Structures are given as structure tokens and as C-alpha cells.
Chains A and B, each alone.
Chain A
Amino acid sequence: MDAPFFCSRVKSFKDRRLAHKQAIIVGVILILMATANGMLIHRMNGLRDAIDTVTSKWLPSAVAVGNIDAYTSDLRIMQLQHALAQEDSVKGRLELLMAGLIEKIQINQDDFDRLAKTEEQSELHAKFNELWDEYLDLFGQITVLSRQNRYEEAVALLNGEAGKVFSELGSVLEQLVGVNAQASLDAAWQADETYQKARRGSLLAFVISLVVAVAFASGMVRRITKPVGQLANAADNIASAAERGDEHAIDVQIDVVADDEIGKLSRSFNRMTGALREAREKIETQRRKLESANVELGFKNRALEDAMKQLRDTQQQLVMREKMASLGNLVAGVAHEINNPVGAVKSAADTSERSIEMVCKSLENSADLSELKESKRFQTAIQVLKSNTAVTVTASDRIAEIVRSLRDFARLDEAEFQKADIHDGLDSTLTLLRHRLKNRIEVNKQYGDLPRIQCYPNQLNQVFMNVLSNAEQAIAGEGQITIETAQEGDAVVVRIRDTGKGIAQDDVGHIFDPGFTTKGVGVGTGLGLSISYNIIQKHHGRITADSDQGSGTTISITLPIEQHTEST
């Protein structure tokens, strides 16, 4: 029952932090290596023990046994020599030698006793000691006999009983040697086996460590490098897809395999692409809204365009009408002006006709020249003719003047700026308006010293006509119009002041607006000043109005002397 609880408390391996994982795996590898090493050392100890055994147990004992074998054989030979020796000195020497041999045998026996022995060896050694004991007794007897020169008995004993014991000794030694050899062989075999096991074990440990290390490395690669690579690729794809305009790259999802840092990274990435997808949808919705709004705008635009077109047409019509109106005014003015002198010429011509009839009658009725000269009718007729001719001349001059003004006013050859004297324009305009100004309005001309300026004279004349006309109309009854001109720097200024009724403060700012008029519906088009404004703009000049309601209005026009073609 408790198992699931426990499992949930202990984090599974794959969900640990990367550092933990690495630490765990390295720990495992180290433990493996330590274990392998431990086993190896253990085996080595076994090997060492085997070698120790050989060197400490079998080798010395083999040596000892070999020595005993050799010495006992020598002893026996010496015993024979001793028995056969005739001289005491020889016997003595041999005895010393034999003593030495017995000592050596004793030493080797002691050595052998000290060494660790198997049961078999111990048994054989005990047997040897017994036999040696017996032999020593016999040795004593033989030596005594030999000393007494009873050599036959000595030799008989040596070959007989002593010989028997001796050969038994020999066989025991042989057995000991065999046992030793076998034991050595066993030990060597064991040592070799141990070595082989150690070698195999070490190799196995190495292979296991290698496998684990490789598995670890590849596991790390898979766990870290591959997901990171995946993430990098996915991010790259999204970036390059964004450049291409492809939207589907952000539909990618990274698999979350475990709960470690890589897992966290993968999850974050997925959240990011999720957020991007949401944003994309929002953008899509907005885009659709914009599209429909756009379509609506299109409709509205077209409607506006139509309205604009209509307005322009209307404007053109109005302009046309204004032109027509002013033209009409102009024509009316000219007709009025010309009327008088033409009438004068007409009546003079009529009267002259009658007078010439009178002269002709006088000529018919007079007999001679002196009678003609005294005829009253004749003198009167001639007088009338004289005065009529004068009138006609004056009137004709007048007509010519008016026509010239008109021609000046309507100058047709204007495609470019031309140098003109604006005083001429002002004067021509005044001439054309004289009939309206006559007797009622006093015109004050204060002309300055002006150079000729670059302009469209025809259009400027239109402006002067408009302004002067307005000034005249503003004055009810008697008044004054003053025209001032002056040069100010690189421009000329024309100020036209009237003593009319003026313009209300609220309206002053609007007088140049198209369609603005104070004259009432149907009387004026309201376009005059706006057209004048446009013309002055075309000249890169300025036109302004100053007014005091009740005392009068001043229109100021500034025009540059030179027109710079770059700035047009």
C-alpha cells in the first residue's frame, strides 16, 4: 500500500536535474571501477599469496631436502674412507669433515622444521627423523669400530644394517622431493589460474566500464544535445519561415520527455509557440476587421470623390459666373464710358452736317466772296463747324483712351511673367471705373518710385479692378479712395484705402474665403476677393485687409519685384 506513495516521493531518475543525473551516473561508474579494482586487488593478493607460498614454503624446503640428500651421500662415502684409512692423521681429517657434514645436515633439518608443512610433508619428515636417529646410532658404532681399526666389521655394518637404513632414508628424501615438486607445481598452477582470473576480471571490468561510459555519453548526448538541437532547429525554422512569410512553422511542438532542465526548456518553448499562435490568430482577426473597414472606406472614398468632383464643377461654374459677372461689369462700365464721347461725336457730326448745308446754301446765295463773308449764316456755320471739330477731336481722343485702357486691361499675350509697370494697370483700371467714381468719389493717387515688376499684368489688373470696385461700392454717397504705392526692399506695396462703411471685425478674417459676401443673396458671387487672393498667391505676394467698421477699409498688396523660377 505504501509503495506508490514512496515512489511518488522519490523522484524518478529521468526527472532529476541534469547535474544530478551526471553525478549519479559518474558515481555508478566510479563504484563499478572501484569494485573492479577491489576484485583485481583481491585476485592479486591471491596471486601474491600463491607466489609467497612457493617462495617461502616450497622453495626453501626443496633446497633443504636437496642439501640433506647431498650431505648424507657424502657422509656415507666418508664413512667408507674412514673405515679403510690406515693412518690416524687421515682418519682425523675425515672425522672433522664428517662432523662438518653432520652439522650441515642438522642445520638443514632445523630449516625444514621451521618451514610450514603439509600433513604429508610432516609425516615424511617425522619418518626421516626416526631413520636418521637410527642411522646416527649405527654411525656411532661404525666410527668406534673404525677407530679401533676393526675395519672389516665397520664396513660390514656400513653396508649391512647402516646401508639398509640409509636406503630407506634415501627413499623418504625422494618422496619429500616429489611432494615438494608436486606442491610447487600446484602452487604455480594456482598462481597461473589466479592470474588468468585476474586478467579476465580486469578485462571484463574494463569492458563494462567502457560500455557504461559510452552509454552514459550517448545518453547525455541524446538527453542534452538532441533536444537542444531540436530546439535550435525549431527556432531557426520559425525565424526563416517568418522571413518567408510562412506562418505554419510555429505549429511545431517539442516532446517533453522528462522533468529536468531540458524538459523545462522544451515546455517553455512550447508555451512560446502557443503564445505565438494565439497572437497570430488575434492578428488574423484584426486583419479581417481592417479589411472590412477598408472596404467601407473605399466606398466612402468613392462617394467623397464624387462629391469632390461635383464641388469642383460647381466651383468652376461659380468662377465662370464671377468672371462673367465682372466681365459684365467691365463691359457695362466700358459701354457707359464710351457712350458719352460717342454721343458727343454723333451730335457734333449731326450739327456739322447741318452747318455744311448752311455753308453750301450760303455759297449758292452769294454772288461773290465779299457777300459770302458778310453772310451771317455762313459765319455762324463756320463757327459751328470749328467748335464741332474740336469736340469731335476731344471725344475721339477720349474714345481712343478708353479703348487703349480696355486693350491694356485685356492683354492676351501672357503665358509667362512679364515686366510691367503696375501704375499703368492702376490707371487703366481707374479709367474704366471713372463713370462710377465721377463726381462722387475723390481719387487720391500717391504713387511712389516703382520699378517694373515681373508679373501677369492682365491678372493684376483683375485684382485692381476687383479691389477698386469693392471700395467704390463700400462708399455710399461721397467719399475718398486713396492709392499709395511704394517700394519696400525687394517688393512693391500697393495700399488702396476707402472711406466706406468698413467690415465687421468678425468678417475681416473671412473676406478672402470663396463665396463669402456681405452683399446679400444673388447680388454678388462672393468670389472676387478669393480669386484676387489666388492671383496674388500665384505672384508669391501677399494681400491683406484692415478695417474699422464705419470709417473705412484698407487693402494692402505686396508683390515681389523679381520672380525666381526655381520657387514656382
Chain B
Amino acid sequence: MRILAICILCVLLAAPATSAEVAVIAHPSVPASEISKSHLLDIFTGDVKEWKNGEPVIIVDLKPRSDVKEAFYDYLGKSSSRMKSIWMRNMLTGEGTPPESLESQAEILERVKNTPGAIGYVNRELVADGVITLRIIQFGESE
């Protein structure tokens, strides 16, 4: 009984150490406080290229593989390579330019803070001032 209580306690304490949430962040100039899944998908597939106010959408992607990246794309329902194919197609057909892929989440945070109309995703823990959070995605969430 006592061992069980200690175990539960440990789990609860350990949880926050590895946050299981993805935060969709954007530049403060983006005219939205939250975003739906389908909107998010349209943006990332390039179907929607402008914000409501006409400002172009600037997508910032994470290059290396990570849990955050996987969770984000799982949520969207497309793998990252699938997304890349779409971007390449768009680029080749002239419909758009593929987003930039940055080497780390910290860089993403920095770029989104400094680029109007930018949108990206990072681990929730890393969210700092200077960006707005449009959505929180749980690891393993798919709806």
C-alpha cells in the first residue's frame, strides 16, 4: 500500500519534467487568439496563404525529428514527410514557398517573435513572452 502511494507520487512529480503538450505559437500581429484544426491544416498545406488581415502566412518548421514534431504532425493527421511533399509540390508548381526548417525549438521561438505573420510550434514549456499561443495540443491528441 505504501509502495503504491510512493509510486503514484513519483509519477505525478515526474510528469511536469517532461511536458506532454505542444503549443502552436504565432507572432502577436496575427489577428487570431485561437485556431481550429482545419484552419491549421489549411495553413500548413498551403491552401491558406494569408491571414484574415491579408498579411501573408510565414510557416516555421522544425527540422530535426522530435517528440514535439511527431505529436504536432500526428495531430494534423499527416506525417512530416507528407507535409514536405506538399510543400515541394507547391514550390514546383509555383504555388508557394516551402517553410523554413530550423535546427531547434529555441530558434523557432526567436523567429516567430521577430517575424510578423509567422506561425510555428514548440514544446509548451518553452513558450515565453513575445508570442501568442493559438492552440495547445496534447501528446497523442488526434482530434
Contacts and interface: CB of A to CB of B under 8 A. Distances in A.
Contacts of A110: 82
A133 B92 contact: no
A99 B89 CA distance: 5
B135 interface: no
Interface residues of B, number: 18
B78 to A, nearest CB: 10
Contacts of B93: 95-96, 99
A132 interface: yes
Interface string B53-66: 00000000001010
Interface in B51-99: 63, 65, 79-82, 84-89, 91-94, 98
A177 B67 CA distance: 30
Nearest to B101: A137
A99 B88 contact: yes
Contact of A140 (B65, B88, B94): B88
Interface string A93-135: 0011011001101100110000000000000000001101100
A139 interface: yes
Given A95-B93, A99-B92, A99-B93, A137 B82 contact: no
Contacts of B65: 130
State the main secondary structure of chain A at its contact with B: helix
Contacts of A102: 85, 88-89, 92
Given A98-B92, A137-B63, A105 B84 contact: no
B81 to A, nearest CB: 4
B80 A95 contact: no
A136 interface: yes
A133 B87 contact: no
A110 B83 CA distance: 12
Nearest to A128: B81
Interface string B82-120: 101111110111100010010000000000000000000
Interface residues of A, number: 19
B81 A136 contact: yes
Interface in A12-26: none
Contact of B89 (A103, A129, A137): A103
Contact of A132 (B63, B81, B89, B94): B81
B84 A137 contact: yes
Which residue, B82, B94, B101, has most C-beta atoms of chain A within 10 A?
B82
B88 A139 contact: yes
Contacts of B91: 140, 143
B92 A136 contact: no
Nearest to B80: A133
Given A95-B93, A96-B93, A130-B65, A136 B79 contact: no
A136 B85 CA distance: 7
A109 B83 CA distance: 12
A81 B63 CA distance: 28
Nearest to B85: A106
A144 to B, nearest CB: 8
Nearest to A94: B92
A136 B84 contact: yes
B40 to A, nearest CB: 20
Contacts of A140: 84, 87-88, 91, 98
Nearest to A107: B85
A145 to B, nearest CB: 13
Contacts of A105: 85
B98 A129 contact: no
A109 B81 CA distance: 10
Contacts of A133: 80-81, 84
Nearest to B94: A95
Contacts of B87: 136, 140
Nearest to B95: A99
Interface of A: 95-96, 98-99, 102-103, 105-106, 109-110, 129-130, 132-133, 136-137, 139-140, 143
User: Which 10 A-B pairs rank lowest in CB-CB distance, beginning with the nearest?
Assistant: A99-B92, A136-B84, A133-B81, A95-B92, A106-B85, A99-B89, A132-B81, A129-B81, A99-B93, A102-B85
Given A109-B81, A130-B81, A143-B91, 16 more contacts: A95-B94, A98-B92, A99-B88, A99-B93, A102-B85, A103-B89, A109-B82, A132-B81, A132-B84, A133-B84, A136-B84, A137-B84, A139-B88, A140-B84, A140-B88, A140-B98
20 contacts: A96-B92, A98-B92, A99-B93, A102-B85, A102-B88, A102-B89, A103-B85, A106-B85, A106-B86, A109-B81, A132-B81, A132-B84, A133-B84, A137-B63, A137-B84, A139-B88, A140-B84, A143-B88, A143-B91, A143-B92
